[in-house]
Amino acid sequence: MTNSTRGRTGAANETRQMLLDAGADILLERGLPGGLNIKIADACRRIGRTSGSAYQVWPSQADYQRDLAIHVARSVDYAGAETLESAVSKALALHDNELDMVREIGTSYFRNLVGNEFFYLSMAFWAERLDTEDDIALAIRAGYDEIQTQFEGFFGAFLDTFGRSLRTPWTIRAMTMASTGITEGLALRHRVAVGEAEKAEIVRLYGDLIVSLTEQMAPRS
């Protein structure tokens, strides 16, 4: 690959990222009613580029919207991964008791999630396309699968770190599905909670439920 080719590829990748970020910003500003109906031209105006530069990256409006859906889903994923690592380090530094560590890790992640607008956007896109098989629906599903895989890895590492195994018939996948369901459900409930007291109660409830899942973990013999 020549230097000029590398330069063009790098410029195209930079343009791609900037337009996805711009589209995500517009989504957050407009809210959910418009769905993913963000025009490439709107994103181009946001960053001061011509529409022609965008169509060098995406052949069509539909292609851009598909990649924007993936971008939104992954914005939830990456924030979660960073927060989990930070929460684990904090919990290990603050607590000796395993249950206290679990509560610290869980509630730290939960507080981050309820403040992440991309989570609510992703959930709305997912619900909107539950019964469809278009490219955007498949992209959101793939992003969701990535999150599941991430948490399966986290639970596996947690069990190894603390020398635990799951009680029969629980599996890491089942534990991941259960914790993900609790997380999403209470995050949506937190969204409509009225007042800081109710929100705090939901955070405490989340911690209690996550701790209760540890009852399915037993010391390895």
Closest CA to 75 of 135, 32, 117, 44: 117
- The pLDDT of residue 206 is 95
pLDDT at position 79 over 60:
no
* Residues 163-192 pLDDT 10s: 889 998 899 999 888 988 899 999 999 999
Q: Which residues of 87-108 are buried (b: 16+ CB within 10 A; e: fewer)?
A: bbeebeeeeeebeebbbbbbbb
Task: Let me know if 163 is exposed, middle or buried by CB neighbors in 10 A (0-12, 13-18, 19+).
Answer: exposed
pLDDT confidence band for 82 (50 / 70 / 90): low
As given in the structure block, the two tokens for residue 66 are 């598909």
pLDDT at position 6 over 80:
no
**Whole-angstrom Cα distance, residue 174 to residue 221?**
22
- The pLDDT of residue 5 is 47
Can you tell me which residue has the tokens 């063009």?
8
- The pLDDT of residue 198 is 97
* Residues 118-160 pLDDT 10s: 888 888 877 777 777 777 777 777 777 877 887 788 788 778 8
- Specify the higher pLDDT residue, 96 or 77: 96
Q: How far is CA 216 from CA 92, 150, 199, 205, in A?
A: 21, 20, 27, 18
Q: Residues 76, 122: contact at Cβ < 8 Å? A: yes
Q: What is the pTM of this model?
A: 0.76
